[in-house]
Structures are given as structure tokens and as C-alpha cells.
Amino acid sequence: MIILGIETSCDETGVAVYDTARPGAEGLRAQALYSQVALHAEYGGVVPELASRDHVRKLLPLVRQTLAEAGLAPSDLDGVAYTAGPGLVGALLVGAGAARALAWALDVPAIGVHHMEGHLLAPLLEAPDLEPPFVALLVSGGHSQLVMVEGIGRYRLLGETLDDAAGEAFDKTAKLMGLPYPGGPQLAALAEHGTPGRFKFSRPMTDRPGLDFSFSGLKTQVLLAWRDSDQSDQTKADIARGFEDAVVDTLAIKCERALDATGCDTLVVAGGVGANKRLRAKLQAMAEKRGGRVAFPRPALCTDNGAMIAFAGALRLEAGQHDDASVRVAPRWDMASLPAVA
């Protein structure tokens, strides 16, 4: 099957074509991504109405571009997958409306994909030998979750954030230190020049049992350290390094606990924060020490993208699953409610 994937959950318009006849990453025939960072920069965050309108402007040109790069015509498509949630309702409706209209015109099936399932399955695109069961760490701007994956569509939540997600904490911490939007990547880049250990922040909720996360208190610690410092460029880098080390250590500790609790030796990491170099190195070292395995998607597939939606949708469409002709989205959507794929 040749599947068109559309991602419009927030501030990035992603389109991709995936061919199930080709193994793994070879099936990714073409993809395109447009980021709205410049549009939202002056506001210091995503403005939902502006995001929706920009998706309207960019989506169809990106679909045409992606099909052309894949050497395909619309009539070559066997199905359409689109992000149906969670996300910004207006942005989701743009992708869902376009996908449903295209599927109706071509008389092919369409399916709404759970955004976080797209992230979760992205590592399988480049590691087709990776099979459940495994533990997944999903870390993005809006989510920090540990999930037990017993099969595709068979997910059990092990732990989640009680307040700010890891990516959200990165962005908010960067903003309070005066870094430009989007702050998370800026803070991670600044931390590369920081002195390890000069600022030591707590590893939240690691002093008690459990697999839940909390990063709001860590953000407050950084704020107090920043206010009491000389606020020089080096101090800014040192605080950034201390913050990043705290987040990375916390995530690693919780991941190891989750592996112990489930008896798994395989960890999958996905979502925007999964591109963080220090997190990747820490989890890789942990997996090697345990004699296990950790899998990451390439950094370009950690952020929101059409490839993960095309791939996740293809797995479900191949299994015979599809939606009716209604245009429906779910700004909030529990991943545990998804049907299993045989």
C-alpha cells in the first residue's frame, strides 16, 4: 500500500508518502515539513488561530510537492492517514478535512492517527526488527510518558508528568532566562558550553517510588538561581547545563525503573526531547550496562513530521482498520483507548 500521511497537530505542517512494499526506512518515498517557528516567534509561543490559518496555506502545496518528489500521482495512493489528535483543534481540523476530502475523491480508505502513537512507532521505521514488548519513553513539548508496549495498539501507561512535560520545562526555563523562541533547542545548545556541576538542581520525584514525573519545581529552582546570579553569559550556560543534567538524569532514572518493573530489556525513545544529545548518550550507556537495547528515531523524525503519521497509518490500514467519512478530531485522546493491531 502507498499511504499519504498528514500531520497538522500544532505548529508544523508535515506530509509524507510511505510504501509498505519496501522494508523499513526504504518505504519512505518522500517527505516535506514546514515549520511555523518564525510566525510565532514574536509572540513567544504558538498562537492557535495563526497556526490553523498557516496550515491552510501550506498543506496542499506540500502535498503536491511530496507526491512530485515521490514520482507519484494522487491516483497512485491506496490510503490517507492524518493526525486526529491530540493537538490544537483548529490545526487538527485542517489536516483532517483535507485528508478526508482527498480520500473521498480518490475512493480510498482514510484513518485518523493518534499523534503520540505516531511518535512511539517512529523508531520502528528505521529498526524493523524491533518488536514488542518494550518500554517507550515519549518526551515532547506536551507529553512526558512511560508506556508499556505489549503490541501495536496495546499500550499500558506506566507513568506520566503531573505538571510540565520535559519539553515544556525546557521551553519555559529558556524563556525565563531570556532565550529566544523556541527556547528548548536554544537552551540545549547553550548547555554545551556550560560547566558541569557548577549548578546542581534536584532530580524531581526520584527520591520516592513510582514512575511519574514533575518538572515545575525544577523550573522554579532555575528561576531562583538565575535571579541570584550575575547573569553573565557563562553563568547562563552553566545554569542551562545544570538544568539539562537534572532533566536527563531524572528521565534516565525513571526509564531504568520502568525496565526493572516490567522485566523488559528494550527501551524506545521518541518525541522532540528524544533528539537531545545528552539524553541519547545517557540512555545508550544505561542500556549497554544492562545488556539491553535502546532505539531512537533519527533526530529529524523526533519532532512532529508526516513520516511517522504515514507509517503508523499504514500499519493500521494494512490491518483493515479505517474510519468512516466523518471529519472528527480529538484534542484530548487517551492512547490506551486505541484498538489493537493483530
User: 291 a known binding residue?
Assistant: no
Same domain, 92 and 183: no
Is there a binding annotation on residue 322? no
pTM: 0.94
Is 42 contained in some domain? yes
Residues 308 and 292 in one domain: no
Q: Determine whether the annotation assigns residue 163 to a binding site.
A: no
Cell reading at 288: 549497554
217 in a known ligand binding site: no
Same domain? 176 vs 210: yes
Tell me the residue range of the domain where 327 lies: 2-122+301-337
- Do 281 and 330 fall within a single domain? no
CATH value at residue 271: 3.30.420.40
315 is in an annotated binding site: no
Assigned domain for 342 exists: no
141 belongs to an annotated ligand binding site: yes
Q: Are residues 289 and 143 in the same domain?
A: yes
pLDDT for res 342: 81
Residue 127 within any structural domain of the chain: no
Cα-trace Rg, the chain:
20
Looking at the structure, do residues 147 and 276 belong to the same domain, yes or no? yes
Q: 100-145: per-residue pLDDT in tens?
A: 999 999 999 999 999 999 999 999 998 888 999 999 999 987 789 9
Q: What's the domain count of the chain?
A: 2
Residue 324 lies in a domain: yes
| 164 labelled ligand-binding | no
Whether residues 174 and 260 share a domain: the answer is yes
Is 236 found in the same domain as 179? yes
Convert the pLDDT of each residue in 200-251 to its tens digit.
999 999 999 999 999 989 999 999 999 999 999 999 999 999 999 999 999 9
167 carries a ligand binding annotation: no
Same domain, 32 and 152: no
Would you say 112 is a known binding-site residue? no
| Residue 108 assigned as binding residue | no
